[in-house]
Structure 1
Amino acid sequence: MTPILAIDDDLRAFVAAKPVGESAVFDMSALIRLDTAGAWLIDRTVASLEAQGVKVSYEGLKEGHKILLDKVGEGGVPKPTVPERSSLYVEVVGRIGAAVVAMGLETLTFVEFLGHVLATIWRSIRHPSRFRLTPLVHHMEKAGFDALPLVCLLTFLIGAVIAQQGATQLRRFGADVFTVNLIAIIFLREVGILLTAIIVAGRSGSAFTAEIGSMKMREEIDAMRTLGLDPMDMLVVPRVLALLFTMPLLAFIGDIMGLIGGGVVAVMQLNMSPAVYIERLRAAADFWTFGVGLLKAPFMAIVIALVGCRAGLDVTGSAESVGTQTTSSVVRSIFLVIILDAIFAMFFTAVGI
């Protein structure tokens, strides 16, 4: 019995010598036993010779040895896998089902996080020493006061645009005097709060995710837990309460600036005096016209803050994850804000408000 290493050296030397001719014959008639290692050496040699353009054949090959060589050859070159193609209907239904399941899991996770935040707030009410006043004031300044210039500018411009477009269209029917009614109803009930919420979601919601995500990436949140500090008390609750307190104020100021923008256009384009504009506003808008928009503000603030904070806590240990979660939080916040606004609109319409 020849050692396997000696056979390996002989076969390597044979291949390295580059045999002359277009064919090579392996005489297997004297071969008594063949194991997997020997079959693999023969298969490797045959593959090397065929790569050099040499055609290899066997003589005196027993049936059992042939089966073993074929199996070893099949194992060395895996067969290409052909993916199973399902019908378009099955693929579409599968994707819809996966999206529904993912949405359901996301909803359950969001509700669980909301419950955790509410439990933490209740614990802070029962034990006021746990409440963090300084972070609350800090985030109220960042999310509220610092956002005022942007909210005022954009709501003023949107109010002016609505008034200009409304006056242009209503003039065709001789009803341009109702432009004030259009501004009051559209801006106070829908556009003012919705525009403010989108600005806050893109500005403050993304900031919440980036701040908490950076702390998560640097393992500062783990350090807080090691020191016995609850990240919900330190990071989440102050941000949620700050946005809850400041969002109605931002919506109120946004409504006022939108009405002022519409008034400027009404005075310039409709030759309406400021006194007449204010009088028509009072006639067009009652308490609920103004209150419906403000009533939506706390709910939208909670949604934006929860989505932003939860996305920050979901950050993993990479900078790419911070960017991904920040983008995701903005998209989810705006989506949920619009859905919430639609639900409120249908509800108030159903109850006659």
Structure 2
Amino acid sequence: MSTPVTEPTPQAVSSAAPPPKGGYRSTKVRRQRVRAAWLFLMPMLVALALVAGWPLLRTFYFSFTDASLSDTASATFIGIENYLVHDDGAWYGLLTDPVWWTSVWNTLYFSAVSVSLEVVFGVIVALLLNVEFKGRMLVRAAVLIPWAIPTIVSAKMWAWMLNDQFGIINHLLMAVGIIDSPIAWTASASYSMWAVIMVDVWKTIPFVALLVLAALQMLPKDCFEAAEVDGIHPVKVFFRVTLPLITPALLVAAIFRLLDALRVFDVIYVLTSNSTSTMTMSIYARQQLVEFQDVGYGSAASTILFLIIALAVVIYLYLGRRQLGVDQ
């Protein structure tokens, strides 16, 4: 007995048809969500354009002029002379200034070392705070104190503690016999960079630890219980299970700290002022703008600093989209 063959109905054909060209992006719901998103974002974008966009455009403009701090209205356009110019057989400008390149190196070195230490110690602190013990909530609150203290206040506090004559750091190190004589931590070219790195790491470890701890609290417990039953070593569990699962939170913490470190100013300026051994790009730009009153030259330094930070953001966004598998 043969089974009768039925022709597909028009409704079935239409339901089996492929989605419209463009997929979900071209649907009505998608367009409504996009319009709603822009509607909610518009007040913030307008405020951001007024607060940050206009000063940024003026900085770009001044970087191509000979403006001075005493009279910015009479600035004249000079092209890229603040960046690079050839005159009388020699090159001049920001890109030929050895002090500028020293500040670039100091910024990159400070950023790489401080962020690396903060990530490592932040993970360690988060792992310790994730363990259940008596008084854990009190310890968690105490760990956040360095991050809660304003940067200027903490930098000034450490400046007194690191003082070579009456600072407590030298007193303690001499008491235990580690050093024989006081060290000028913030005035010595050999120790000043490590001193500011130590202060920055001390202040921002809680930020990294807080993000990592939040990620640890969201991890499933089943895989860790199975690893414990199987007798797998905790170190191996950390590198094979825990670390891959908290990597997204680590990347967020690292990029935020990297952006802060690239534009660092306050903690270094309070501790070492305009010292060449610790001068960063922000301090260099401030020196040109305020002390030398050369708005054009200082704006050129600020523009390059902005471009470097913008490049770091673009790279992070690109890597983030690649990790999420977004093609467009």
TM-score range, shorter chain: under 0.3
User: Which structure carries more relative contact order (alpha carbon 8 Å, separation 6+)?
Assistant: 2
Q: Which has the larger radius of gyration?
A: 1
TM-score of the pair, normalised by structure 1: 0.26
